[in-house]
Amino acid sequence: MKKVFLITLITISIFTNTKAQYISFDQLVKSGSLDATKLLQSYSEPIFKGFGTGLNSGWNNTAKTKDFLHLELRVSATVAQIPIEDQYFDVTKIGLSNHIQIDPSSPSLVAPTFGGSTTSSLPILDVKDDYGHKISTFTMPQGISQYVPAPNVQLSVGIGLNTDVTIRTTPTINLPFDVGTINIIGFGIKHDIMRDIFNGDDNYGLEQYVPFDLAIAANYNQINFSRHLDVQPEYNTYPIPGSLQDFTTQKYTGTFTGKNLQLIASKQFGIFTTFISAGYQIATTNVNLYGNYPITVAPGYYQNFPTPVHISETSISGFRADVGFQLDLWILKIYGSVSQGQYLSANAGVGLGF
């Protein structure tokens, strides 16, 4: 199970790791609480959207429901592509305070987001105190990847009455490489409307008259992620009187939630089933930096700021369409689909059905 989630959690940890090559909180936190929040949110927005797309993917590849107490265990992965318009942002247009100004030597005003270039010129920003004196300088991070992965593991069971229920759950796991901890909870329900109309009981000989399967499905998924941080005071700075000096409680937390409602139509041709679906999806993101953080507020001096970053947003809200297939090789199932919503994405996976 740990290996299934490792790729995604490494992706998340890249911008939560204070020693990472591309982005570190000890740089962005220099800008102060409100400005650090705006910079981190602008940089991370594509991964919030991409991850939200993945949370709402991979639930169903057919409208047909399972027989009573039949099971299916599947592992799938979604990859969302970040469009060009979400790969860059102008640091002068996100509402930064007067304490953050472009350094005269800065080669650019435009910064890559998570999905931007890994080699572009980066804005250099100066941090100034209340009197306009420069107290610190930092460079915005490079981009990392145009693609956001999101794996899923789920168990579905037929409960009768043309209805399936699905569970996605993982207890709290300490991931390797000091990535952090994760736990997952999710559930879904699917009901085949067409088989309410055409009773699919072979004893009545009506199965052959079902023209296609048509189902409605509702799904919910939440991933909670946590990682300890270690942001220390800048070199050769001292606390102003009264500032706390205990930075051991620093922690990054992220809660990513996906909800979707789908109308699914599918048709089975022997071992091959093709499907299309349309629905509405919502993804929300809550990210916080908890603990005490030293932020330089005057030349040579820092002040403690508790919980300097808080991001709470609806990352995705809108319609999505999916098209794909399911290949049924006795107990082995193979899945594939593509979807178009706010981001274009592809999903593939395998499963075992009994």
Q: Which two tokens stand for residue 40?
A: 């981190």
Across 173-196, average pLDDT: 85
CA angle in degrees (0–180, nearest 5) for 312-42-8: 75
Residue 77's beta-bridge partner residues?
Answer: 151, 348
- For residues 350 and 328, give the distance between their C-alpha atoms in angstroms, rounded to a whole number: 10
Nearest to 278 by CA among 320, 317, 339: 320
- For residues 28 and 25, give the distance between their C-alpha atoms in angstroms, rounded to a whole number: 5
- For residues 273 and 296, give the distance between their C-alpha atoms in angstroms, rounded to a whole number: 60
Give the model's confidence band at 259: pLDDT under 50 very low, under 70 low, under 90 confident, else very high: very high
Give the number of other CB atoms < 10 A from CB of residue 238.
11
Distances (CA, A) of 336 to 97, 272, 348: 47, 12, 4
Domain count within the chain = 1
The parent domain of residue 293 ranges over 2-353
pLDDT at 181: 87
- For residues 251 and 16, give the distance between their C-alpha atoms in angstroms, rounded to a whole number: 9
- For residues 221 and 236, give the distance between their C-alpha atoms in angstroms, rounded to a whole number: 46
3-state secondary structure of 178: coil
Ranking 69-73, 141-145, 261-265, 338-342 by mean pLDDT, the lowest is 141-145
Segment of 16-20, 25-29, 99-103 carrying the highest mean pLDDT: 99-103
Query: Strands 301-306, 309-329: parallel, antiparallel or unpaired by DSSP?
Result: unpaired
Ranking 79-93, 202-216, 261-275, 285-299 by mean pLDDT, the lowest is 202-216
User: For residue 87, is it left (φ>0), alpha (ψ between -120 and 50) or beta?
Assistant: alpha
